[in-house]
Structure 1
Amino acid sequence: MAPRRAGGDLNASSSRAPMEGRQRLRGEGGSLGAVGGDADGNKGGDATVDVEMGEAAELAYSATVPTNRQVVPYSQYMTQSKGAQAPSQVHPQQAPPAPPDSGGQVFKEVSVPSEIAHCEGRIQDIAFALERKRERERRMKVFRGEGVLIKPSEGKDHRELVELSNLDLVAYPMYNKVVYVFEAPTPSSEMLKEGLAKVLAEFREWAGRYTKETPNGCLGINLNDEGVLVIEGKADGTIADAMPFHPSSFLLELVPPTSTMVDELLLMQFTRFACGGLVIGLASHHHVADGQATTLFMNSWGKVVRGEIILPPVHDRSLLKARDPPQPCFDHYEYSNITHGHCSIDSNLTIKKLHFDAIFLQELKLKVKGGSNNARKYYTTFEVIVAHMWKCITKARGLDGVIKTKASISVDGRKRVNPSLPKEYFGNVVYDSSAQSIASEIINRPLDIIAELIHMAITKVDDSFIHSAIDFLELRKQSLGPARVNDAFDVIPVSWMKFPINSFHFGMGQPLYVGPSLMLVEGLIILFDSYANVGGVDVVVCLSRAHMTELEHYCFHV
């Protein structure tokens, strides 16, 4: 394994909220979180405060509801009585001494639910705990060591070149960055590297390098087995300190650094925490594989480490080749403005993780189902959430009138082609489909009408549409670039809800958390199953800072 220096030897980062002994305060309002299946579970759409016995955690999933904003002293923002009412105001003489380093500030404006549910045990002062948490954030550091290139072990795959399909070429030219969080015990780095070398023998694309020396002159992969870069890191905090892993600059310290100078198509970082926990940070280039294919690779790696037999992936990308001659029969406006280049990053963008729990999702679905504007009475969780977020984001952006806006939806085509592709297919099988309207209609029309727009955009992606799209792209093959060149008025919903990401483990327990790091793309919405709430959904959203503030006023109201 050839040594390779990673980009930067020392990086300091902030931690997130503590996790051990966590209890939860719940009340009316909104909460932050993730995506999931059909509604099922605890009360939805409420403000949630993660707290720890002996030490309160960050207000990790709390959301501001303007009508509930109150001024309270630090020690009054808690209760042990079920159904107890939060005080609307407390006289300063009742206030406790100010926490250290608070500048004598005893009162603080916070988002207080109008009703705080029962919480077992004694809960420390939340504001004081937040001061302690911020101090840990300032102290916690992540140290990166040197990287090594892991090459595939000997295998039966003797291919020399992979010609990328049209769908590979229109994928964003970016690294998808994901963190996988494991509590102790965890396998040794040597076990992980040994298993990685074995699984790379079946997935040699990751160990190759891009080339344009292909028969058609388009981008391909030279299967030269140069290797995957693995960096080992060390964090001087615990996994509990880092929870709940909101998308942030801290998470970028847990994934390998990438730039335009990086040659590797797959990079990993193994970061060991003081508690024995492990975070595996993954940076995988999107031209090589989509989310489903990358998850297939990760699950195969876990099986190899566990000593299990894996099914070989299907590498035949000609299964998605264009017809000869190409015969597009649909107007694929999603691909009409494709250009070369990288995704632009706006320094004014911010990213947050919103949580919709099961009851809130149920209320959204009931609102859609109760609409009398069309005959359809059922919509998927994805369709309902995307319709709701599209409406809320359009409001938050202050759009109105005849401004055009669209939801650019990535649709997995594996089961939509005839015959369907094997689930072991390795590559990109994502098709872009858009729901379009004008801002005034998205804001003012009922939610079921917007959900119908989303539904129709998804269901139109069938076998004939898919082959038409491939043929359409074939006619523009020499100019293919990233498909989604979106306006600042659009949203880009992406679903991770059906990915078997929790199946990835090494035989010592499933991951505590799996999620994106920091992906700054205006209008991006990533939906995935909530790790903290059965039936709940976490929604990662990227918007401008001003629009994000407005979004939080709308998104937790049905």
Structure 2
Amino acid sequence: MVYLKNWLDYLGSDISDVNQPSLKVYEDLGVNRNTIRATFKLSREDIKKLREIILSRVEGTKPIKQPHLSTFVVTYSYVLICLVKARGREVNRNVNFMFPVDYRNRLAPPVPANYFGNCVFLLKSIIKASALIEENGIAIIAEKISNMIREIDEKGLFEGAEGILEDLMKMEAGDQTIGLAGSIRFNVYGVDFGWGRPKKVEIVSVEKTGAIAMAECRDGNGVEIGVVLNSHEMEIFKSLFVSGLQNE
């Protein structure tokens, strides 16, 4: 009931509306026609290189526990850094970042392997942009994301669950919010509905939400990242994304 109330408050609905038949669709968030969509790629070699860079910089932060630098953690950390730098402006702004977590194998007992449905939830945290634009920024955010995932298993899925949705929906003016859509485990390029594997997969919702789209590459060599930005920020992001791999 807590979750339902949070969701209805967010939609501006009343709980009495729940049992009323309705064909109302989710509100259209609109699409900014001045934005550009682009897909970037991190190969396995790029990810390996970034992982080594993060490890070398994490050593200087003296973490309590060595971060688990999975392909997801490395990729998401790098893209976050590039997006925060591309936006520029007020460095003291909050950066809200969030990503979905697979809960199927984390439940007790775990969800059966043949379960077909939704069993994910969002993790969210806040960090100052100033922390991410410094030289050690990628190590800071990678360690933070790694710890967020570790804490799910150490603390349990439902600790503080009553306030999670309410917290997710709290944003302040001037904040930068970066979500994530998709997964590198969905095998989207392996799907064949009878007319062959897809040439290109896009997550169209990111045009409205501003989230990062993520999927495995069609050739299996690395990760595809889809972003939607205005033309000015896209040029900066592209430059940062490429130069960050070349200069390190």
TM-score by length of 1: 0.36
Q: Percent identity?
A: 19
Match of 2:72 in 1: 382
Match runs of 1:68-83 below 5 Å: none
Separation in 2, partners of 1:350, 1:410: 24
User: How far apart, in 1, do the equivalents of 2:55 and 2:124 lie?
Assistant: 23
Please point out which of 348, 359, 380 is paired with 2:45: 359
- Where is the strand percentage greater, Structure 1 or Structure 2? 1
Corresponding position of 2:16: 217
User: Once the 2 structures are TM-superposed, how far is the Cα of residue 543 of structure 1 from its aligned partner?
Assistant: 2.0
Whether the 8 Å contact between 2:206 and 2:213 is mirrored in structure 1 is no
Amino acid at match of 1:449: I
Structure 1 residues 466, 358: CA separation in 2 closer, same or farther (over 3 Å shift)? same
How many residues of Structure 1 are paired with residues of Structure 2 in the alignment? 233
Aligned twin of 2:91: 401
Partner secondary structure for residue 207 of structure 2 = coil
Which deviations, in whole Å up to 9, do the C-alpha atoms of 1:52-106 show, x marking residues without a partner?
A: xxxxxxxxxxxxxxxxxxxxxxxxxxxxxxxxxxxxxxxxxxxxxxxxxxxxxxx
1:413: which partner in 2?
Answer: 103
Shift of 1:263: 4.4
The question of whether the paired residues in 2 share the 8 Å contact of 1:399 and 1:439 is answered with no
Query: How many angstroms does 1:383 deviate by?
Result: 0.9
- Quote the offset at 1:440 in angstroms: 1.1
Query: 2:232 matched to 1:546?
Result: yes
1:435 and 2:125 aligned: yes
Equivalent in 430, 453, 457 of residue 148 of structure 2? 457
Q: Is the 8 A contact 1:353 1:540 kept in 2?
A: yes
2:109 & 2:17 partners in 1: Cα distance? 27
Q: TM-score, normalised by structure 2?
A: 0.75
Q: Higher helix fraction: Structure 1 or Structure 2?
A: 2
Give the CA deviation at 1:427.
4.1
- Letter in structure 1 aligned against 2:75: I
Deviation at 1:428, TM superposition (A): 3.4
Computing the radius of gyration over CA atoms, which structure comes out larger, 1 or 2? 1
What secondary structure, in the 3-state scheme, does the structure 2 residue paired with 1:422 have? Answer: coil
Residue in 2 aligned with 1:299? none
CA RMSD of aligned residues (A): 3.7
- Flag structure 1 segments of 5+ consecutive residues without an equivalent: 1-162, 174-211, 223-261, 266-284, 286-340, 477-481
Q: Which amino acid aligns with 1:437?
A: I
Alpha-carbon distance in structure 2 between the residues aligned to 1:551 and 1:537: 17
Is the contact between residue 37 and residue 229 of structure 2 (CA under 8 Å) also seen in structure 1?
yes
Please show how residues 30-45 of structure 1 align to structure 2 within 5 Å.
none
Q: 1:497 aligns with which of 176, 181, 184?
A: 184
How far residue 431 of structure 1 moved from its aligned partner, in angstroms, is 1.6
| Contact preservation (8 Å) 1:349, 1:542 | yes
Check conservation: 1:169, 1:219, Cα contact below 8 A.
Answer: no
Alignment of 1:476-487 (within 5 A): 483=169
After superposition, give the CA deviation of every residue in 1:181-219 in whole Å (9 maximum; x if it has no partner): xxxxxxxxxxxxxxxxxxxxxxxxxxxxxxx9xxx6354
The one-character-per-residue Cα deviations of 1:216-268 (angstroms, maximum 9, x if unpaired) are 6354696xxxxxxxxxxxxxxxxxxxxxxxxxxxxxxxxxxxxxxx9498xxx
Structure 2: tracts of 5 or more residues without a match: none
CA separation of 1:221 and 1:515: change in aligned 2, threshold 3 A: farther
1:469 Cα offset (Å): 5.6
Deviation at 1:502, TM superposition (A): 4.3
Deviation at 1:395, TM superposition (A): 1.0
- C-alpha deviation, 1:503, in angstroms: 4.9
Match of 1:415, SS state, is helix
Against the structure 1 CA distance between its residues 506 and 439, is the aligned structure 2 distance closer, same or farther, given a 3 Å change threshold? Answer: closer
Does the Cα contact within 8 Å between 1:350 and 1:548 map onto a contact in 2? yes
Deviations 1:86-139 (A, max 9, x none): xxxxxxxxxxxxxxxxxxxxxxxxxxxxxxxxxxxxxxxxxxxxxxxxxxxxxx
Specify which structure has the bigger relative contact order, considering alpha-carbon pairs within 8 angstroms and separated by 6 or more residues: 2
Cα deviations by residue, 1:149-191 (Å, 9 ceiling, x for unpaired): xxxxxxxxxxxxxx9x749958x98xxxxxxxxxxxxxxxxxx
Return the letter of the residue paired with 2:87: R
SS of the residue aligned with 2:122?
strand
